[in-house]
Amino acid sequence: MSRLSSAALSLTVLFAATAPAGEEAPPGPLARGNWSDAQGGAAKAQLVAVGKVADAGKIEGKGWNMQARGDNALAPVDVQQELVVEVSEVLRGKLAPGKLTVRVKTVNYPLQSLYQMLNRFDGKRWTNRQAIPAADFALAKDRSFLLFLSEAKAEKGKDKDAPERLAAEHVADATPMEGPDAQLLASVRAFCQALADWAQPPKLSPEEDAGLKALAADLGADDFDKREKAEAEFRKIGARAKNYLEAAARDKDPERSFRARELLKAVEPRPGEVELPKGAGAAGSKPGTMKERPKPKPEGEGEPAPEPAPGPRGAPVLPPLVPNG
């Protein structure tokens, strides 16, 4: 079973209901908190932000019915909503905290959970519905959401005299997530940092630069253990070492270029592979090597003992990336 399918089956569907006076309504169906799906949404978005809905606006759309089945994992739900969000944190992209107009057109939801939601309990009895209205998936006022958006752009309001506003659309194939907890945010925050490092690796100090160049050279060293150690260090450093691995991948030495190409695939940030990445990039499987570990020679052959391998180089290596917060 795929990760997406198993996540869909394991979700606890929380039904929106009318709360008694003075009590807060229970979380809606968007309160999913799946870190793998959240990283997938972040990879598709230009702007990832956390915000509280200040104005939910008018809710339209057709919702979902039995005819709109979707694929085996997720189904699109038609939710037409324009809302105003007070942005409190930006995890990816550039945007100052403040008010942002967000347009939602569809939300993706696990198909298995949609079938469960067709059965609804009104407090007295269960009813079987043929469709789920868009209002059940609307982003409710005064609730916080993790949002996956297109780039925010300035535009005029609907009225001619309305002031200019910033607006963004929720990206296709991603789902707003209500009430993200600290661990979910830490996971997405670190993943977004890895994406930023991959797109534009940070400038390093002369000492760090020398350390990474030495590690890249060690990928083609004659000593097997030195090659393995260099590869392990690059996996810890992750996306920040992209430029050095790309240079090593073009090297004429076949071992060095092979390991560098495999490392580039391994450390490229991919959603859903590491819950809390700490600079290690994507945790892919260990690649094969072109040179095997030297086999010990049988005793009694009379050959001189091999010289000890040179000690580790003194150039420092970058520490693992630690998520902010």
DSSP states of 101-155 as a string? EEEEEEEEEEHHHHHHHTEEE-SS-EEE-SEE-GGGGS--TT-EEEEEE---EEE
Residue 302 placed within a domain: no
- Cα 218 to Cα 245: distance, rounded to the nearest angstrom: 12
Please give the pLDDT value at position 277. 63
Question: Count of domains in the chain?
Answer: 2
Mean pLDDT of the residues in the chain: 79
Query: Residue 82: what residue type?
Result: E
Please give the pLDDT value at position 284. 35
Instruction: Please tell me whether residues 7 and 128 are part of one structural domain.
Output: yes
Collapse the DSSP code of 76 into the 3-class scheme (helix H, G, I; strand E, B; otherwise coil) and give the result: strand
Instruction: Please tell me whether residues 39 and 143 are part of one structural domain.
Output: yes
Instruction: Please tell me whether residues 237 and 256 are part of one structural domain.
Output: yes
Q: Residues 178-220: pLDDT tens digits?
A: 999 998 999 999 999 999 989 998 888 999 999 999 999 999 9
Instruction: Please tell me whether residues 22 and 151 are part of one structural domain.
Output: yes
- Cα 213 to Cα 231: distance, rounded to the nearest angstrom: 13
Residue 297 placed within a domain: no
Instruction: Please tell me whether residues 244 and 165 are part of one structural domain.
Output: no
Instruction: Please tell me whether residues 147 and 192 are part of one structural domain.
Output: no
Domain boundary among 180, 204, 236: 180
CA distances 250 to 85, 231, 261, 308, Å, are 47, 16, 9, 30
Instruction: Please tell me whether residues 77 and 115 are part of one structural domain.
Output: yes
Instruction: Please tell me whether residues 170 and 189 are part of one structural domain.
Output: no
CA distances 71 to 1, 67, 76, 108, 126, Å, are 15, 12, 9, 11, 27
Domain boundary among 180, 210, 228: 180
CB-CB contact of 139 with 83 (8 Å): yes
Domain boundary among 180, 195, 212: 180
Q: Is pLDDT at 27 greater than 80 in this prediction? A: no
Instruction: Please tell me whether residues 34 and 173 are part of one structural domain.
Output: yes
Residue 314 placed within a domain: yes
Residue 301 placed within a domain: no
CB-CB contact of 153 with 95 (8 Å): no
Residue 58 placed within a domain: yes
Instruction: Please tell me whether residues 200 and 74 are part of one structural domain.
Output: no
Least confident of 45-49, 235-239, 281-285, 308-312: 281-285
Residue 222 placed within a domain: yes
Residue 282's domain comprises 181-292+309-325
Residue 300 placed within a domain: no
CA distances 41 to 37, 71, 152, 162, 244, Å, are 6, 18, 16, 32, 29
Collapse the DSSP code of 44 into the 3-class scheme (helix H, G, I; strand E, B; otherwise coil) and give the result: helix
Q: Is pLDDT at 249 greater than 80 in this prediction? A: yes
Q: In the 8-state DSSP scheme, what is residue 157?
A: -
Instruction: Please tell me whether residues 225 and 318 are part of one structural domain.
Output: yes
**pTM exceeding 0.85:** no
Q: Stretch 259-288: mean pLDDT, rounded?
A: 70
Instruction: Please tell me whether residues 195 and 115 are part of one structural domain.
Output: no
Residue 268 placed within a domain: yes
